[in-house]
Chains A and B, each alone.
Chain A
Amino acid sequence: MTASATGGRRAFLRSACKHCVGMGALLPGLPALAQDNAAASPLPAERFARPALETDEGGLWGMMDREETRLRRSPFVVRDVELNKYLQDLVCRLGGDHCPDIRVHVVRTPLFNATMAPNGMMQVWTGLLLRAENEAQLAAVLGHEIGHYLERHTLERLRDLRSRAAFAQFIGMFGLVGAIGQLGALAGAFAFSREHETRADRLGMHLMKRAGYDGRQAAQVWDNLLGELKITGGEDAGKRSPMMATHPPLESRRDDLLKLAGDASGITGAAEYNQAIARHRFGWLQDEIRRGQFEESLVLFNRLLARNPLDSQALYARGEVYRLRAGKEDLQESLNDLTRVTAFEQPPAEAYRALGLVQKQRTDGPSAVQAFEKYLSAAPDAADSGLIKNYIAELKP
Chain B
Amino acid sequence: MNYSLARAHVGVLFCVLALLHVPAQAQQSKNLAPGFSQRPAVSKLVVVPADMELFSIGAGGVAEPRADWTLAAQKNVQSGLAARKQQLGANVQGLEEKDMDELAEINSLHGAVAQSVFLHHMIGGVLKLPTKNDALNWSMGDAVKPLKDKTGADYALFIWIRDTYASNERKAAMIALAVLGVGIAGGSQIGYASLVDLNDGRIVWFNDLRRASGDLREAEPAKETVEALLKGFPAFQ
Are A and B in contact, CB atoms below 8 Å, in the complex?
yes
Residue interface mask B156-187, A partner, CB < 8 A = 1: 00000010100000000000000000000000
A63 interfacial by beta-carbon distance below 8 Å: yes
CB distance from A176 to the nearest CB of B (A): 6
The answer, yes or no, to whether A390 is at the interface (CB within 8 Å) is: no
Q: Does A72 contact B (CB under 8 A)?
A: yes
B9 x A66 contact (CB < 8 A): no
Cβ 8 A contact of A53, one of B9, B58, B62, B68 = B68
B55 in complex: contacting residue of A53, A72, A167, A173, CB < 8 Å: A173
Contact string against B for A residues 45-70, beta-carbon threshold 8 Å, 1 for contact and 0 otherwise: 00000001110101111110010010
In this assembly, does B127 line the interface, its C-beta being within 8 Å of a C-beta of chain A?
no
Closest to B3 in A: A185
Interface residues of B in 1-30 (CB under 8 A from A): 1-2, 5-6, 9-10, 12-13, 16
Proximity string of chain B (43-67) to chain A, C-beta cutoff 8 Å, 1 when within and 0 when not: 0000000000101001011111111
Question: From residue A239, how far is it (CB to closest CB) to chain B in Å?
Answer: 9
> A58-B68, A59-B67 known; A168 and B53 CB under 8 Å?
no
Q: Is B61 touching A173 in the complex (CB atoms < 8 A)?
A: no
Q: Which residues of B contact A66 (CB under 8 A)?
A: 53
Instruction: Please state if B65 and A62 are interface contacts (CB–CB under 8 Å).
Output: yes
Interface residues on chain B, number (Cβ under 8 Å) = 31
Residue among A53, A162, A170 facing the most chain B CB atoms (10 A cut-off) = A170
A170/B16 in contact, CB under 8 A: yes
Known pairs A66-B53, A174-B162, A188-B1; A167 contacts B10 (CB<8 A): no
- The prevalent SS among residues of A at the interface is helix
Chain B residues touching A, majority SS: helix
- List of A residues within 8 angstroms of B149 by Cβ: none
**Quick one: given A72-B101, A168-B60, A173-B162, are A63 and B5 in contact (CB under 8 Å)?**
no
CA distance A62 to B68 in the complex (A): 8
Docked complex Cα distance between A73 and B106 (Å): 11
A166 on interface, CB distance cutoff 8 Å: yes
B residues within 8 A CB of A305?
Answer: none
Within 8 A of B (CB), among A172-194: 172-174, 176, 183-186, 188-189
Residue contact B65 to A176, C-beta cutoff 8 Å: yes
Task: Tell which of A166, A167, A168, A174 has the most Cβ of chain B within 10 Å.
Answer: A168
Q: Is residue B81 contacting chain A, with contact meaning CB distance below 8 A?
A: no
6 smallest A-B Cβ distances: which pairs? A62-B67, A185-B2, A53-B68, A73-B104, A168-B61, A54-B68
- Which residue numbers of B lie inside 8 Å of A, CB to CB? 1-2, 5-6, 9-10, 12-13, 16, 53, 55, 58, 60-68, 70-71, 97, 100-101, 104, 107-108, 162, 164
**Further 7 A-B residue pairs, CB within 8 A, beyond A167-B62, A169-B9:** A73-B108, A162-B58, A162-B64, A168-B60, A168-B62, A170-B9, A183-B5
